[in-house]
Amino acid sequence: MTEYDLWKIFPRMPKKVEIGDITIRDGFQHEEKFISTAAKIFYLEEVIFAGVRNVEVTNLGNPIGMPQFADAEDLLTYFRGDLFKKRAARRGINYDDLCFTAITIREPAVDRAIELKERGIGPDRLLMMVSTEEEHHFANSGTTLPEYWQEAERSIKKCNDAGMTMCGCVSTIWGSPIGGATDLRDAVEFSKRWLEIGASDIEHADHDGSASAAAVYRYYSMILDEMPDTELHIAHFHETKRVASASILAALQAGITRYEATFGGLGGQPANFLDDRPIRGTGEYYYKDPRYVGLVCLEDTLVMIDELGIKHGCDVDRILWLGQKMEKTIGRRLRSEAVINGRTLKEGHMEFARPGLRPRKQKLGETPTQKIPGNWAPKAVLPEKYAKR
């Protein structure tokens, strides 16, 4: 007999997950127009009110290279302020349950985070990143892997001493847009290295959409075999081939409980153009067309997880409403299908029903729930040639 219970087929698949929103940082960094501070505050606040507890607020790197984050201190100041705390409390949100993350790819950004912490507006959590493929790592950080690991070790100690945690990101797990194929075993080893030097958790990142569902399942199974605490691991997928939903499902089946996403699938490399001028960003894009890349979509991912019957703690309808507003903020159609077509509703959409079904059934002598002719057997009988052997 075929087994139909997903949790018996995939016993590691969670009954509850956590979804973090990283739109304001990872999503907006790819945009070639400045998104206002007021808009950033609105979306961060509203996504928290909709149930998200882990958010990326900003990048604390040099704003000369990424001026999209020139307002980093303004954002942190607001979310450390009394006004937000009161607004959160009125909605029954425990402020201590929230985690505000800032990206600090290099040590000077970590030092900046520590200085902000001393001023009372620092983030709770920082993030540094290595790629298993060194050309990609060098393109992002300007360092070799060995020298970056030493920098990361110093930075984590300073970060922890200041009362913040550090997430270690591992990238190019399933392939590199620069160096090509990679080995999953390198990413498993790098994940262990992050924990060895004091990282609090690990973001496992597919930064260019290289992952396939089979490889995702294999990798996260390897990870949980070696490091079984699911609180340590975060799945981070980019979307370049419209297959990231399959990767999310494969990660769920492997047992991963923490995910990140952006509204409308926004994101990609830090932009090298902003408003009316070229900026440094991370240099020329390594995508064929930077318009058709991004992260896995928050709205669609949430709907998929919700319809799997997995708990997530978010107000799905509110998230879809915010996704609609995000399209107006960005000024173009984004990648979410759910914000256009909505959720799959158990009650259906009766406004589209053709009038007259009920009286016709009455006229024909059919009961309201009758689906087959009255003189047919209640159960179908398969012809012998189609029967199970």
Which DSSP string corresponds to 301-365?
Answer: HHHHHHHTT-B----HHHHHHHHHHHHHHHTS--S-SHHHH----TT--GGGPPTTHHHHHHHTT
What total number of domains does the chain contain? 1
Residue 379 within any structural domain of the chain: no
Q: 251: domain range?
A: 13-341
- Amino acid found at 379: K
pLDDT, mean over the chain: 95
Percent of the chain with pLDDT over 90: 85
List, for residues 319-362, the tens digit of each pLDDT value: 999 999 999 999 999 999 999 988 888 888 888 899 999 999 99
Residue 349 within any structural domain of the chain: no
Burial class of residue 92, CB neighbours in 10 A (0-12, 13-18, 19+)? exposed
Residue 346: predicted pLDDT: 81
Residue 112 within any structural domain of the chain: yes
- For residue 112, give the CATH number of its domain: 3.20.20.70
Section 46-74 average pLDDT: 96
The answer to whether 104 and 110 are in contact (CB under 8 A) is yes
Cα(163)–Cα(146) distance, rounded to whole angstroms?
A: 26
Residue 375 within any structural domain of the chain: no
Burial class of residue 365, CB neighbours in 10 A (0-12, 13-18, 19+)? exposed
Residue 176 within any structural domain of the chain: yes
Q: Is residue 292 predicted with pLDDT exceeding 90?
A: no
Contacts of 73 (CB under 8 A, 6+ apart): 116, 121
- Of 59-68, 211-220, 245-254, the one with minimum mean pLDDT is 59-68
CA distances (Å), origin 153, targets 76, 130, 195, 199: 25, 12, 10, 9
The SS3 assignment for 228 reads: coil
Going by pLDDT thresholds of 50, 70 and 90, the confidence category of residue 15 is: very high
- Amino acid found at 148: Y
Going by pLDDT thresholds of 50, 70 and 90, the confidence category of residue 140 is: confident
Residue 207: predicted pLDDT: 85
Going by pLDDT thresholds of 50, 70 and 90, the confidence category of residue 274 is: very high
- Of 46-50, 187-191, 346-350, the one with minimum mean pLDDT is 346-350
Section 77-96 average pLDDT: 98
Q: Is residue 220 predicted with pLDDT exceeding 70?
A: yes
Residue 354: predicted pLDDT: 94
Cα(154)–Cα(162) distance, rounded to whole angstroms?
A: 13
Residue 277 within any structural domain of the chain: yes
Residue 330 within any structural domain of the chain: yes
Residue 289: predicted pLDDT: 80
The answer to whether 336 and 301 are in contact (CB under 8 A) is no
Residue 345: predicted pLDDT: 80
Section 102-124 average pLDDT: 98
Residue 50: predicted pLDDT: 98
Going by pLDDT thresholds of 50, 70 and 90, the confidence category of residue 151 is: very high
Q: What are the residues facing 18 on neighbouring strands?
A: 258
List, for residues 229-258, the tens digit of each pLDDT value: 999 999 999 998 888 999 999 999 999 999
What's the predicted TM-score (pTM) here?
A: 0.93
Q: Residue 237 corresponds to which tokens in the numbers above?
A: 């997928």
Residue 287: predicted pLDDT: 73
Going by pLDDT thresholds of 50, 70 and 90, the confidence category of residue 1 is: low
Torsion on CA atoms 153, 156, 162, 163, rounded to nearest 10: -150
- Tokens 């009255």: give the residue: 374
Residue 290: predicted pLDDT: 78
Residue 199 within any structural domain of the chain: yes
Q: Is residue 9 predicted with pLDDT exceeding 70?
A: yes
Residue 388: predicted pLDDT: 76
